[in-house]
Amino acid sequence: MAEIHGTCDERFTGVRDVLADNLDTGLDVGASVSVVLDGKPVVDVWGGVADAETGAPWERDTIINVWSTTKTMTFLCALMLADRSELDLYAPVARYWPEFAAGGKEGVEVRHLMAHTAGLSGWSPAITLTDLYDWEKATSVLAAQEPWWEPGTASGYHAVTQGFLIGEVVRRITGQSLGTFFAKEVAEPLGADFHIGLPAAHDARVARLVTPPDNLGDAAAEDSIAHRTFASAPFGAEVAWTTDWRRAEIPAANGHGNARSVARIQAVLACGGEIDGVRLLSAAGCERVFDEQIHGTDLVLGVPLRFGMGYGLNSEELPLSPNPRTCFWGGYGGSIIVIDLDARMTVCYVMNRMESGLVGDMRGASVVFAAYAGLAAG
């Protein structure tokens, strides 16, 4: 059996066993798993190798690009501003970002950005990879364009655009970039090792992603919203190996951390806004997550999704939890974070071997189900 490092409460040994089995069978190359219950870590384990080419082991402080799991950090920042009455989630985006009213978007509200219903799942005209590293360019194109469908009527996964859209609203309100606001207001107070825009000092700790066999949108029909979305700023997963990608702030896609840091940060939400004496949200502020915005087949991902204020919500189609007050999201290739306010539990799985697609796979789901089995057995 694969060697698993870290600590694991006896109730949750099934979680550790899932990670070991994934590594033994080759489903995983290197990964970390964390479960936080009532604000305290009950599972903090890792194993495998961080770099399949060199064989360097996955260590306690190994971090990796978690792709869209980053979005949960962006949502948290917006929810914090809403809790402070600095941001009205039901206000027009143009209240904070006047240029955004162009292209008939004067009625698009902040909540539409949060729930992928703004009709801005890609850029028009299309931009380049280099443009993604230019905040002003990436946001100004979005501000000028027209929506691709009637805002508020359907979700269409804003895979990369969402971070720029919410991030610009945060910047207009606070005068700080999303990455800077997150570092000062979230990561540093919690002592959490998560970064949106990675400083060079951390490069040596970054695991090397094992990229999937195909790129985003490869299977989409050319006349679809999905194809248009991914063709509007094309790149492959190997971009995560580059310095330019790490240094940029792409708040929907390039956060770097591990299961421990993701689970700790999102445990604030699970625990009513406070953990270890650090309060980021009021209890009422946490409940905003469950303000359902849309429930139906996503125009980009092609699967039924139920979105609250940012986060995906537990649903019959994606029953990740037995508890209704549960939200989640995951990242390209397989990472996942599940936040259960009823159980006051967060479960996170982060890995380097990517599967194809954006809607997760059984590796992360198996970790989540094992955590619930341990909870029920306790």
Catalytic residue ranges: 68
User: How many Å apart are CA 33 and CA 243, to the nearest integer?
Assistant: 26
One-letter amino acid at 13 equals: T
Question: Within a 13 Å sphere around the CA of 125, how many CA atoms are in the beta-carbon half?
Answer: 2
**Cα 205 to the center of its chain, rounded Å:** 20
User: How many Å apart are CA 284 and CA 338, to the nearest integer?
Assistant: 19
Residue 102 sits at the vertex; the CA angle it makes with 101 and 106, to the nearest 5 degrees, is: 30
State both tokens at 244. Answer: 């330019």
User: How many Å apart are CA 230 and CA 206, to the nearest integer?
Assistant: 26
**Cα 120 to the center of its chain, rounded Å:** 18
User: How many Å apart are CA 247 and CA 75, to the nearest integer?
Assistant: 21
One-letter amino acid at 37 equals: L
Residue 288 has φ and ψ, to the nearest 5°, of -60, -25
Which DSSP letter does residue 206 get? B
